[in-house]
Amino acid sequence: MKSQNKPYCDTTHTKIGFNGEETADKKQYEDQAEIIHGPKLDLTDAKKLCSHARFCQPFGDTWHNVEKSDDLNARKIAIKTSCNCPSGRLIAWDKKTKKPYEKKFKPSIEIIEDPQIKVSGPIWLKGGIELESSDGSKYESRNRMTLCRCGKSNNKPFCDGSHINAKFNDGDESLI
């Protein structure tokens, strides 16, 4: 994001050596995710999709709250924190109905900034926006996905949190 004409591309990426080569597996989410079982909830967790946004950590981590999901408060926290995961790595499922808890998003694109650790984060796709590969094939359309914008991810086009160690800043003065 070194473009002088953000959010539009001005081809600066070709001058600074931005690496946008796709490395992600095109497996469906359910084939990437492990299942964590709790008494009232199950949680699917596709670790490779994690953008390290830390929405899963308030009030004890999501996994711990799923394991205690027979407690109403723990169950509510597990559902809330999994729904707040921007990458869609985490999805809480009702054990009885087998249905996922998912916020309904209108199709939209946002930029995630992380002022707490002073880095620019991923591009957040919401609401089932289709994502096409450079070879013309499509990635699975999902309700929540985060895309790399620093060029350092080992799971491109998806963010893997590499922007944190790279101390990526797209020039947002509020992060400095």
Cis-peptide, bond into residue 7, ω within 30° of zero:
yes
Show the tokens assigned to 34: 């492990």
Distance in angstroms (rounded) separating the CA atoms of residues 66 and 36: 8
> What is the reported pLDDT for 100?
97
CB-side exposure of 44: number of CA atoms within 13 Å? Answer: 20
The CA–CA distances, whole Å, from 160 to 54, 88, 171 equal 12, 12, 21
For 127-161, write each residue's pLDDT tens digit: 999 999 999 999 999 999 999 988 899 999 999 99
The structural domains of the chain, with segments of one domain joined by +, span 30-94, 104-175
> Bigger pLDDT: 175 or 163?
163
For 14-42, write each residue's pLDDT tens digit: 666 677 788 888 999 999 999 999 999 99
119 within 8 A of 167, measured Cβ to Cβ: yes
What pTM was estimated for this model as a whole?
0.86
> Bigger pLDDT: 11 or 1?
11
For 71-80, write each residue's pLDDT tens digit: 999 999 999 9
